[in-house]
Amino acid sequence: MSSHKEYEILNRKILTPSFVILSVLTAIGFYFIGVRFFEGIGAVTNLSDAYPWGIWIAYDVATGTAIACGGYAVAILVYILNNNHYHPLMRSAMLTSLFGYGLAGFSVVIDLGRFWNMFNLLKPQFWQLNSIMFEVAMCVMIYTFVLFLEFSPAIFEKLQESENYGMARLSEKFSKFLDKYLIYFIILGITLPTMHQSSLGSMMIIAAFKLHPNWHTPILPLLFLINCIFIGYSIVIFESITSSFKFGRPYETSQLAGLGRIALFLALGWIAIRFTDLFVRNQLMEAFSFDFYSVMFLIESALIILGSVILMSGHNLNSPRKLFISASLIVLGGGLYRFNTYIIGFDPGVGFSYFPAFGEFMITVGIVSFEILLYSIFVKIFPVLPAVHKSKAIGGSNV
Amino acid sequence: MKKSRRDFLKICGAAALGTAVPAAADASSAKVFTDNKDFSMLYDSTICVGCKACVTTCKQVNDLATEQGKFDKNNLWDSPEKLDSNTRTIIKLYKESPEKYAFVKKQCMHCAKPSCVSACPVSAMQKSDNGIVFYDKDICIGCRYCLIACPYNIPKFEWEKPIPKIVKCDMCKFTNFKQKGITACAEVCPTDAILFGKRGDLIKIAKKRIKDHPDIYIHHIYGEHEVGGANCIYLAGVDFNKLSFPNLPNPSAAALSENIQHTIYKGFIAPVALYGTLCFVAFRNRKSKKDGDNEQS
């Protein structure tokens, strides 16, 4: 159990001013969730038959799960390329992924009109294998469970120190079991996001006559897949620097520089594929025509390119501030790409418009606040963050 | 003898309208055509008089709520303005000048390759063997992917209800069609602007009308080829864009989406191969790392 030394519990008070603010936002969100369940989706949203999906799907699900791809992106490095250098970042990345996906799933339940029927997805007689939604739903459900398993060593590590002898023994047993077999689930946890993140792109292919050609392309699945990986690395940089800053801990500079380099490579590769695709589809001229859709495309591309350019200098890669700025830019640009694909580039016809209602917006704010709240509680209860003086050491643990 | 009285009225109507109703003669003899596989409806905008009997009857037969017009304080008339969760079909007016105008009937097109059916994750949207695209609320999870997928914006959702469902035309599959073998709108139409029958027959009729009266009709049967063809086909005297029909290419977007998805997931080989490869690479890297560590120590 050498992973024991690799991570530590953050020994701070749970009740802080930011905790109170986040709790209030969460409470407001849950109030509107209550309204939604008693009075219908129409009572809290501006959704309509023309815009059946709003920010709950475009942000919480399509963008939120990409932002929750940190665990996936780092797992590729640590477990597939076996680069243990990044192992200290693993647990916090897994934890944010777990909350990201868990709460995306929660948003879906709020968004589903007939949520009590959702278990029909699990009944083989109703499976509809042509449906990309079906594939995404199944993958996301299984992946959320896998993420929980992947994070569970942290919980069992804590429970092993429990004063309850039975609980401690049981946790030890589970830990040993996980030590041995968790790798198979971790690899499943890499396969599943590869599938559903690309399918999140495929999902909009069927809206061929509604999605603006700046975004509609047969290679949507490829673009979504690469997009979530570079967002994943960038968000790990973002989170690590934020929590180091917030909790006054040393920056994981050497790991972050490495992640920055990978994010840069993937982001620029993605931009190259994106522009090539627009060129091949004869859409490049229109993408630069400076109409509304063109401007949205340009903002999205500019954010990613700017973030990447900053990362090009070795000096910047070692500066937490520059790393933070560029990671934020790439996450914003990459996230905007998904937002554009799901909402802004979605044009159901003349005379329709959508802008989220206050309640609808507050539900998303509430869910994100709840996510941050849970994260800040978990790092203070379970060993999640890299152990301070050991952060550069390579743990002997395999998982 | 309701039928013969109706036929009499029809003939009178046709005679009164004269050449303004060029195709009434074709239709008066038989309303229901039974020949080939898919059931269809042919709507001829040049014959429709805009009486909205189809809209009202559809609501009665399919148990849909009425809608109160802004002008109508006592709620005397049902005044739907657009297709919504209370209105499966509607008649709209396109007006260019007092002389030049056209009616158009909107409802589900019953596509040959329906995107809503392809999108639905739980088979709540289905296409029956006789071509009717219908919905089963008891399976539906309410994800509204069908609304996103439909190129005609047809499926509607009950936004205002805590227990909502999707609403769209199902050619009276469980009501009028089941009892009488014809959709309520086609049955009630006083001018036979709506014909109900098998698709092949209706296409023939539509082609004949265009051929016989090339000056009256736009030379295009809307729904014949759009997104793979639809079971609801249209004739009109004005451009279909003006009747708010989108310009759609022949192949259905559902076909493209399914092609890509099935290519990636063919036989579930790719995901399994990916998993296997990842396992292989992970264990090989792990082993080489361990060997390296051992050598060092």
What is the rounded average pLDDT of the residues B137-161? Answer: 95
Residue A2's pLDDT band (cuts 50, 70, 90): very low
Which of B124, B164, B257 shows the shortest C-beta gap to A206?
Answer: B257
Judged by a CB distance cut-off of 8 A, whether residue A75 touches chain B is no
* ipTM at complex level: 0.90
> Is 80 exceeded by the pLDDT of residue A388?
no
> Is 80 exceeded by the pLDDT of residue B219?
yes
Please tell me the predicted confidence (pLDDT) of residue B290. Answer: 64
**pLDDT tens string A325-378:** 999 999 999 999 999 999 999 999 888 999 999 999 999 999 999 999 998 899
Roughly what angle, to the nearest 10 degrees, separates helices A220-246 and A165-202? 140
Residue A392's pLDDT band (cuts 50, 70, 90): very low
Q: Which residues of chain B neighbour A188 with C-beta distances below 8 Å? A: 275
> Is 60 exceeded by the pLDDT of residue B15?
no
CB-based contacts of A267: which residues, under 8 Å, 6+ apart? A230, A234, A304, A307, A308, A330, A334
Residue B8's pLDDT band (cuts 50, 70, 90): very low
Give the closest residue to A92 by CA, choosing from A7, A168, A33, A32: A7
Please tell me the predicted confidence (pLDDT) of residue B17. Answer: 39
Q: Which residues of chain A neighbour B137 with C-beta distances below 8 Å? A: 114
Q: How far apart are CA B183 and CA B175, in angstroms?
A: 9
Strands B39-44, A385-386: pairing kind: unpaired
Judged by a CB distance cut-off of 8 A, whether residue A105 touches chain B is no
Give the closest residue to A283 by CA, choosing from A216, A224, A346: A216
Mark yes or no for CB contact B261/A218 under 8 Å.
no
Judged by a CB distance cut-off of 8 A, whether residue A306 touches chain B is no
Mark yes or no for CB contact B286/A221 under 8 Å.
no
Q: What is the mean pLDDT of chain B?
A: 85
What is the rounded average pLDDT of the residues A314-323? Answer: 90
CB-based contacts of A26: which residues, under 8 Å, 6+ apart? A366, A369, A370, A373
Give the closest residue to A78 by CA, choosing from A64, A89, A65: A89
User: Please, which residues 217-236 of chain B have a Cβ atom closer than 8 Å to chain A?
Assistant: none
**pLDDT tens string A249-277:** 888 888 899 999 999 999 999 999 999 99
> Is 70 exceeded by the pLDDT of residue A175?
yes
* Type of residue at A143: Y
Q: How far apart are CA A24 and CA A15, in angstroms?
A: 13
Judged by a CB distance cut-off of 8 A, whether residue A7 touches chain B is no
Interface test with A, best of B113, B145, B247, B272 (most A CBs within 10 A): B145
- List the Cα angle A368/A266/A54 in 5-degree steps: 35
Q: How far apart are CA A355 and CA A353, in angstroms?
A: 7
* Type of residue at A271: I
B146, A130 in Cβ contact below 8 A? no
Q: To which residue do tokens 């759009």 refer?
A: B226
Please give the structure tokens belonging to residue B67: 């809608």
Judged by a CB distance cut-off of 8 A, whether residue A124 touches chain B is no
Show the DSSP H helices in B150-297 as ranges: 176-180, 184-188, 199-212, 253-264, 269-296
B171, B110 in Cβ contact below 8 A? yes
**pLDDT tens string B163-173:** 999 999 999 99
Please tell me the predicted confidence (pLDDT) of residue A5. Answer: 63
Roughly what angle, to the nearest 10 degrees, separates helices A253-280 and A320-339? 30
Worst-scoring range by mean pLDDT, A2-11, A213-222, B248-257, B258-267? Answer: A2-11
Show the DSSP H helices in chain B as ranges: 2-17, 24-28, 53-61, 115-119, 145-149, 176-180, 184-188, 199-212, 253-264, 269-296
Give the closest residue to B6 by CA, choosing from B69, B50, B53, B71: B53
Q: What percent of chain B has pLDDT over 70?
A: 85
* DSSP letters for A194-261: HHHHHHHHHTTGGGTTTB-TTT--TTHHHHHHHHHHHHHHHHHHHHHHHHHHHTT----HHHHHHHHH
Interface test with B, best of A110, A200, A209, A210 (most B CBs within 10 A): A209
Q: Encode A185-199: b = buried (16+ Cβ within 10 Å), e = exposed.
A: bbbbbbbbbbbbbbb
Please give the structure tokens belonging to residue A54: 């709003």
What is the rounded average pLDDT of the residues A31-57? Answer: 95
* Type of residue at B180: K
Q: How far is CA B180 from CA B174, B175, B184, in A?
A: 11, 8, 9
Residue B91 backbone phi and psi in degrees, to 5: -105, 130
Q: Which residues of chain A neighbour B84 with C-beta distances below 8 Å? A: 49
Which of A53, A198, A199 shows the shortest C-beta gap to B148?
Answer: A53
Q: How far apart are CA A1 and CA A55, in angstroms?
A: 43
Secondary structure element (H or E) that encloses residue B40, with its range: strand B39-44
Record the pTM: 0.88
Judged by a CB distance cut-off of 8 A, whether residue A222 touches chain B is no
**pLDDT tens string A75-118:** 998 888 888 888 888 888 899 999 999 989 999 999 999 999 99
Please give the structure tokens belonging to residue A189: 């946890």
Which SS3 state, helix, strand or coil, does residue B77 take? coil
Judged by a CB distance cut-off of 8 A, whether residue B282 touches chain A is yes
Q: How far is CA B10 from CA A315, B44, B208, in A?
A: 86, 15, 20
- B201-206 long-range contacts, CB within 8 A, separation 24+: B201/B33, B201/B35, B201/B36, B202/B33, B202/B40, B202/B41, B202/B42, B202/B233, B203/B233, B205/B23, B205/B26, B205/B27, B205/B33, B205/B42, B206/B42, B206/B44, B206/B233, B206/B235
Please tell me the predicted confidence (pLDDT) of residue A55. Answer: 95
Judged by a CB distance cut-off of 8 A, whether residue A205 touches chain B is yes
B61, B205 in Cβ contact below 8 A? no
Q: What percent of chain A has pLDDT over 70?
A: 96
**pLDDT tens string B23-56:** 443 443 445 555 578 999 999 999 999 999 999 9
Q: How far apart are CA B161 and CA A113, in angstroms?
A: 9
Q: Which residues of chain A neighbour B261 with C-beta distances below 8 Å? A: 130, 132, 135, 199, 202
A96, A84 in Cβ contact below 8 A? no
A32, A44 in Cβ contact below 8 A? yes
What is the rounded average pLDDT of the residues A292-320? Answer: 94
As to burial, measured by CB atoms within 10 angstroms (0-12 exposed, 13-18 middle, 19+ buried), residue B76 is exposed
> Is 90 exceeded by the pLDDT of residue B180?
yes
